[in-house]
Chain A
């Protein structure tokens, strides 16, 4: 039997990128919050810039529940689903502990794809079979929350548009901001300056991307050390602005947030009327029931959906908040596959730096260009950065048909090791009929519960964007003097989307309860005291990393709960 704990106001499932942000406005409003996290606190002393250690000891430290529940994947319902690997990690702060830390706002167009496409090009241009809807909120609605998150976490960047006024050095295409970033962008490098010049020659609008990485000391934390071991390793200086070093400690300081680590939530419980009563979790070998007035699920997309589907009851026989059959629908993962890479005739000096320190061109993203003569909507960002580690760099040097050892190999290695660069291109991806998440009929996690089965494929629109942006990326590298450019960036229509750190939908926000799990505030249409945050709430991806957007939405949902406490709790 589960031990019943003292009731709390709000229980948050997952103290990661979303939940770790949501906790702050709740705690600041005086609401008692218990945050339940499957992982543990990571220490700066574990963030060792040593490639062999990372390989051998496994990263990250602490229990990784997410690996046991890694989803299966198939392109369509005729294919056999095969087990993949987990995309995310478990830790306080979640995957923001070791992510690339690009901290983008979506563009106004991303919130209104359907209405804007109809208005500019006609309804026939909505991709066939897509279930895309306008968000139930606009960019302008979310702007104040982007701002709050940027300042609470510490985001570096340069505004390109403040109150409608274009600012040199920022993103020419971004939506209007109320004020500047809390600190300047990360510094530039020789390589970034070189790529910037080439982009300007092509009449593009290059800028340094925004990052959840401190360019200056901020609220007692150090600035970035640019040491080159940022991606897939946490920050030894706490300069990476994860909630674990920003919003969570701030929330804990109010005395209102209690974080329970190494605890795995297995079910959301409901009463006969269909209200959530709390969550059941396992810590060690003990089972606990944490009662709460509001349940706030904020794990990654796979687990948000799985928890709902596993939480069946008399009121919700198909899973919690799933009486309209929308849980798991409208799933998509970002089209990030399809590479374009370059070899340069000179060393790039890219040994140091961080992936968040890069140059972006937004000219071919979203609706920043006229699509009238094109056969797709949306687009992609083109982004280049440098971060090179010695062992990985040696192993990455290609010498097709050439020797694999000896003096000739070594000569090629020395010549090539610091001359390659791969582009990071993120493209608009849309939800489609036939793409969904459900429970796998055979594959189970170590506790015996089914894992998520992904059934999803990219379609024509994604393939056409990928080839279009791939060609633009090739042009940029060529303009920068690359001696060789490889790959066309193609994301093939019909290929499996699979799992991703950028996984969207499954508990989409929207006004229509027939097609959306959540309302415009991120609260369930069916369960009045259930909130959800994370990538699963997003109905479009834009052409950029999701984290800052899902954090802004999480903050907005949390603030809504605080403001409407009496009506939500009843």
Chain B
């Protein structure tokens, strides 16, 4: 069940007996810089093939199953697609040397390039070993390839990429929806995290009350300045 918007403010008023005054929400209105939204269905960084491969891997790392939705439903791949044009695209291990020298053999310069190399390697391996695009393979065949990735057995996939994609998939599933993942709070619903609030009712810390997810981002509360994606 979704709570009505603005409940947090009401909670605060109920809890403190004081309406939220101007003093508490200074400057945020003019200081907020809304990140450029990416239209539904469009990609920000990855190619469509890269995205499909990535999304399929994410959906095996945190699958949708009898225990609820997974990384695909949480749009972890979208989080990664957005982030690779921003905060996730830091220099990777084995980054380009001083003066822009070419990376050493087997290394790539940025996380974006690491993704490009890895997703291409996985796709090529899927076609050569299983005869089809990774995204079109059966879950069992996909799992076999993810296991190979974890064991560094995919030819030409950058070393350590499994840890990178696992970390990002977890972030994309369980971090604030502001960053493009955790769509509609699905990730938080998986672990029964009831959501970001600015004030929490007393009964939400009790054991006999069923917690309802509020499906809100921190930035649905207008007191906080938005950061960069």
Interfacial residues, chain A to chain B (CB-CB below 8 A): 43-53, 56-57, 187, 189-191, 193-194, 217, 222-223, 225-228, 236-238, 347, 349, 351-353, 386, 390-391, 393-395, 404-407, 410-411, 413-414, 417-418
Q: How far is the CA of A353 from the CA of B200 in the complex (A)?
A: 8
Q: Is B17 within 8 A of A410, CB to CB?
A: no
Q: Is A50 within 8 A of B176, CB to CB?
A: yes
Identify which of B24, B192, B205 gathers the most chain A CB atoms within 10 Å of its CB. B205
Q: Is B196 within 8 A of A49, CB to CB?
A: yes
Provide the residues of chain A in CB contact with B194, threshold 8 Å. 351-352
Q: Smallest distance from the beta carbon of B88 to chain A beta carbons, Å?
A: 10
Interfacial residues, chain B to chain A (CB-CB below 8 A): 12, 15-18, 24-28, 31, 60-63, 65, 67-68, 70, 87, 143, 146, 150, 166, 170-171, 174-176, 178-179, 187-188, 190-194, 196-200, 202, 204-208, 211, 218-219, 223-225, 227-228
Q: Is B60 within 8 A of A406, CB to CB?
A: yes
Cβ contacts A to B, 5 pairs, < 8 Å = A52-B179, A222-B18, A237-B198, A390-B174, A414-B68
Q: Smallest distance from the beta carbon of B29 to chain A beta carbons, Å?
A: 10
Q: Is B200 within 8 A of A394, CB to CB?
A: no
Q: Is A418 within 8 A of B65, CB to CB?
A: no
Q: Is A347 within 8 A of B192, CB to CB?
A: yes
**Seed contacts A50-B175, A349-B205, A394-B191; 15 additional CB < 8 Å A-B pairs:** A43-B26, A45-B27, A46-B225, A51-B176, A56-B227, A190-B206, A191-B207, A225-B200, A228-B200, A237-B199, A349-B206, A349-B207, A391-B175, A405-B62, A413-B191
Partner of A352, one of B16, B176, B204, B219: B204
Given A225-B197, A349-B211, A406-B60: A50 in contact with B178 (beta carbons within 8 A) = yes
Q: How far is the CA of A237 from the CA of B223 in the complex (A)?
A: 10
Provide the residues of chain B in CB contact with A49, threshold 8 Å. 196, 198, 218, 224
Q: Is B199 within 8 A of A48, CB to CB?
A: no
Q: How far is the CA of A352 from the CA of B211 in the complex (A)?
A: 11
Given A225-B200, A228-B200, A349-B211: A390 in contact with B205 (beta carbons within 8 A) = no
Q: Smallest distance from the beta carbon of B187 to chain A beta carbons, Å?
A: 7
Q: Is B67 within 8 A of A414, CB to CB?
A: yes
**Across chains A and B, which 6 residue pairs bring their CB atoms closest together, nearest first?**
A190-B207, A225-B199, A189-B205, A390-B193, A352-B200, A48-B224
Provide the residues of chain A in CB contact with B211, threshold 8 Å. 349, 351
Q: Is A227 within 8 A of B199, CB to CB?
A: yes
Q: How far is the CA of A47 from the CA of B223 in the complex (A)?
A: 9
Provide the residues of chain B in CB contact with A53, threshold 8 Å. 176, 218, 227
Q: A397: nearest residue on chain B (CB-CB)? A: B191
Given A48-B227, A352-B205: A217 in contact with B16 (beta carbons within 8 A) = yes
Q: Is B206 within 8 A of A189, CB to CB?
A: yes
Q: Smallest distance from the beta carbon of B17 to chain A beta carbons, Å?
A: 7
Q: Smallest distance from the beta carbon of B199 to chain A beta carbons, Å?
A: 4
Provide the residues of chain B in CB contact with A191, threshold 8 Å. 205, 207
Q: Smallest distance from the beta carbon of B55 to chain A beta carbons, Å?
A: 15
Partner of A48, one of B170, B175, B179, B225: B225
Provide the residues of chain A in CB contact with B175, threshold 8 Å. 50-52, 390-391
Q: How far is the CA of A193 from the CA of B63 in the complex (A)?
A: 36
Q: How far is the CA of A51 from the CA of B170 in the complex (A)?
A: 13
Provide the residues of chain A in CB contact with B208, threshold 8 Å. 190
Q: Is B225 within 8 A of A390, CB to CB?
A: no
Q: Smallest distance from the beta carbon of B77 to chain A beta carbons, Å?
A: 15
Q: Is A222 within 8 A of B205, CB to CB?
A: no
Q: Smallest distance from the beta carbon of A235 to chain B beta carbons, Å?
A: 11
Partner of B61, one of A57, A236, A349, A405: A405
Q: Is B205 within 8 A of A226, CB to CB?
A: yes
Q: How far is the CA of A386 from the CA of B206 in the complex (A)?
A: 12
Identify which of A57, A393, A407 gathers the most chain B CB atoms within 10 Å of its CB. A407
Q: How far is the CA of A47 from the CA of B208 in the complex (A)?
A: 30
Q: Is B223 within 8 A of A45, CB to CB?
A: yes
Partner of A223, one of B15, B65, B70, B207: B15
Q: How far is the CA of A43 from the CA of B68 in the complex (A)?
A: 39
Given A390-B174, A414-B191: A406 in contact with B17 (beta carbons within 8 A) = no
Provide the residues of chain B in CB contact with A194, threshold 8 Å. 207
Q: Is B205 within 8 A of A410, CB to CB?
A: no
Q: A418: nearest residue on chain B (CB-CB)? A: B192
Q: Is A390 within 8 A of B26, CB to CB?
A: no
Q: Smallest distance from the beta carbon of A82 to chain B beta carbons, Å?
A: 24
Q: Is B16 within 8 A of A223, CB to CB?
A: yes
Q: Smallest distance from the beta carbon of B193 to chain A beta carbons, Å?
A: 4
Provide the residues of chain A in CB contact with B143, threshold 8 Å. 406
Provide the residues of chain A in CB contact with B27, threshold 8 Å. 43, 45
Given A52-B176, A394-B174, A410-B62: A217 in contact with B28 (beta carbons within 8 A) = no
Q: A54: nearest residue on chain B (CB-CB)? A: B227
Q: How far is the CA of A317 from the CA of B197 in the complex (A)?
A: 56
Provide the residues of chain B in CB contact with A407, threshold 8 Å. 63, 65, 67
Q: Is B12 within 8 A of A222, CB to CB?
A: yes
Given A217-B17, A236-B223, A353-B205: A227 in contact with B179 (beta carbons within 8 A) = no
Q: How far is the CA of A272 from the CA of B54 in the complex (A)?
A: 72
Q: How far is the CA of A395 from the CA of B171 in the complex (A)?
A: 10
Q: Is B193 within 8 A of A351, CB to CB?
A: yes
Q: How far is the CA of A237 from the CA of B143 in the complex (A)?
A: 47
Q: Is A405 within 8 A of B206, CB to CB?
A: no
